[in-house]
Amino acid sequence: MTSLSEAYGGRGRSGADPRRLYLGVGSFAAGALLLVAGILAAAEVAVPAGYSSAAARELGGVLGGIGVPLVLIGVMAVLPADRSTYAAAVVGAAVMCLGVAVFTYAYPERWVGGPRPDLPNLTLYTAGVYFLGAATTLWSVFVGVANFKTRNDPGGTVSMEVTHKGETKVVEVPRDQLSGPGGVGLLGGTPDGDVETQTNRPDDANRSARDANRPTDRDAAGAASGPGTTAD
């Protein structure tokens, strides 16, 4: 079975690096906190004194806009994936942050329904940039989840190497034909051919035959040494 260090780093036990897990948990927690703070700020529940409604919504949009990529990067950091998938997630998060920067420039004067209708409306442009980054990061997360599920449940057939009298052969059994629980030396409910298992080894059969004959031998010996037998 693949160890966690091999699944995350592919370098074995000596190359395991838990910093990625800590980074993912920290990024997810920070992003979740920023999302909550953004919602509270946009709803004008918790904003600094003197903030207008427009300033509160801008603050909420910035906090929430930064919190979403942090949450996605946190999820992506703990998933086993190749470097290209990680790079795509980081690029997508960077594009989302660019969208947040455009939002701070456009809101509220260059926003839909803003106080300056004579200025160009950047609402659609800002939303498009942010959506492009979010789609890229989400796709990377989906790829990471799919790879993780495939690694844990590959499907297809089960392969087992069996060594018998110095000869090694590979036995492949489709998963839908596994009718019983496996065990040490036994795969499925019935031994495969002449392969020795814990249930069909010749020495076990010989031992059972010897155990069955032992009571008869003892009875015969007892009858020979009974009262009717005289010694010379």
Which of residues 61 and 168 earns the better pLDDT score? 61
Boundary-marking domain end, from 121, 152, 183? 152
CA dihedral 101, 104, 105, 108 (to 10 degrees): 150
The pLDDT of 196-214, averaged and rounded, is: 56
Asked if residue 28 has pLDDT above 80, the reply is yes
Which of residues 144 and 129 earns the better pLDDT score? 129
Boundary-marking domain end, from 128, 152, 176? 152
Residues 77, 16 share a domain: yes
Residues 163, 205 share a domain: yes
Residues 118, 170 share a domain: no
pLDDT given at position 185: 43
Least Cα distance to 159 among 148, 173, 149, 146 occurs for 173
- The whole-angstrom separation of Cα 193 and Cα 207 is 21
- The whole-angstrom separation of Cα 62 and Cα 67 is 8
Residues 47, 19 share a domain: yes
The pLDDT of 134-141, averaged and rounded, is: 94
Domain of 177? 157-224
**∠ CA 179-181-184, rounded to 5°:** 130
Residues 77, 15 share a domain: yes
Residues 88, 56 share a domain: yes
Asked if residue 142 has pLDDT above 70, the reply is yes
Residues 132, 18 share a domain: yes
DSSP code, position 183: B
- The structural domain count of the chain equals 2
- The whole-angstrom separation of Cα 194 and Cα 169 is 12
Asked if residue 40 has pLDDT above 60, the reply is yes
Boundary-marking domain end, from 90, 121, 152? 152
**Model confidence over 47-64: pLDDT tens digits?**
777 788 888 899 999 999
Chain mean pLDDT for the chain: 75
Token pair listed for 33 = 């906190």
Which of residues 37 and 209 earns the better pLDDT score? 37
